[in-house]
Structures are given as structure tokens and as C-alpha cells.
A = this chain, B = another copy of it.
Amino acid sequence: MGATRGGPGEAAGEDPCRTRAVLGIVGDKWSLLVVRHLSEGPRRFTELKRAVDGISQRMLTVTLRGLERDGILTRTVRNVMPPHVSYELTPMGRTLREATAPLLEWSIAHVGHIDDARAAYDARPDTPATPGG
């Protein structure tokens, strides 16, 4: 994707391509949850593994690497025994965390309604089959 960057005054809704590019940063299953669990301060690898329960060790590594590469968090290694690696949001990471707050609140507020919608949809007799892979 191009290195061209727009001015900060650009409003959302004017540049679909770039929006798509950056949604690639957080548009996966784990990134937003990792960011969320770092919002209260630095965390170690295993602490995150427990907090974001359900994530595999491999995907936590991959997700953290990606967020570090994107400048969302920092990775600090202390060469001691046992090893100690801590992850912390950068200033930009904290702005991301703030930007995702409404979405997380929406999730919590609407999960019940969505359960209902799913049940109603699955009860429909004319439900189309989902294409397989």
C-alpha cells in the first residue's frame, strides 16, 4: 500500500482505501483485546496470555509483534533468569485504546440483543446455507 499520507483534518468517510489499510491493524480477532488489557499499565507475556484467555501462545506472540511493529506498544526485555518481558502501550497506543472504547461498550451493551437476533435468524425456515470453504 502506498506511503502517501493525508492531513489530520481529513474526515472519516473520504478515504475508503486507507481506512481499509489501517483496519488491517486492528481488524483481527485479538489486537483490540490485547490493547484493552494493556490499558491499565504494563503487562508481562504470561499475564496477557491469562487475561486474553482463549488466545494461543503463538497468536499472542504474533499479535504482540504486529502491534509493536505498528508502534502501538513497546516490548521491554530484561535478560534475567527467569526471563522478564513486559509490554506497554505507547502514547499512540493509548489514543487507540480511547478510540476503541465506544466499540467495546457497544459490544457489552448489545450482546444480549445479538443473541436474540441470532436465535430468531436460526429459527427462520428459509435460512440460506452458509458457503463452505
Given the interface pairs A37-B16, A92-B113, A102-B99, the reply to whether A22 lies near B128 with Cβ below 8 Å is no
Given the interface pairs A58-B131, A114-B70, A118-B70, the reply to whether A108 lies near B22 with Cβ below 8 Å is yes
Interfacial chain B residues near A52, Cβ < 8 Å: 16, 20
**Contact, CB under 8 Å: A65 / B128:** yes
Which size class do A's interface residues fall under? 35 or more
Contact of A21 among B19, B111, B113 (CB under 8 A): B111
**Contact, CB under 8 Å: B100 / A22:** no
List 14 extra interface pairs beyond A23-B107, A25-B114, A27-B30, CB under 8 A. A10-B109, A12-B105, A15-B53, A15-B108, A16-B33, A18-B111, A25-B107, A58-B131, A65-B130, A70-B117, A71-B116, A71-B121, A95-B110, A103-B103
